[in-house]
Structure 1
Amino acid sequence: MSGDHCPDILELSDGSFAVIGTDRTEELDGKLPADASRADYERIVVITRETLLRAKKDIPEA
Structure 2
Amino acid sequence: MRDSRSSETCPDIFELGDGNFAVIGTEATDALDPFLPPDAARADYERIVVITRATLIHAKNDIPDV
Please classify the TM superposition score into its range, dividing by the shorter chain length. over 0.9
Quick check: 1:43 aligned with 2:59?
no
Deviations 1:33-59 (A, max 9, x none): 000000000000000000000000000
Cα distance in structure 2, aligned partners of 1:24 and 1:6: 16
Percentage of matched positions with identical amino acids: 67
Structure 2 unaligned regions, length at least 5: 1-5
TM-score by length of 1: 0.94
- Secondary structure of the 1:57 match is helix
Distance 1:10 1:17 in 2: 6
What RMSD, in angstroms, separates the aligned Cα atoms of the two structures?
1.3
Task: Give per-residue Cα distances to partners, 1:11-45, cap 9 Å, x unaligned.
Answer: 00000000000000000000000000000000000
Structure 1: 4+ residue segments shifted above 2 A: none
TM-score (norm 2): 0.89
Aligned residues: 61
Structure 1: gaps of 5 or more residues? none
Aligned residue runs from structure 1 range 5-20, under 5 A: 5-20=9-24
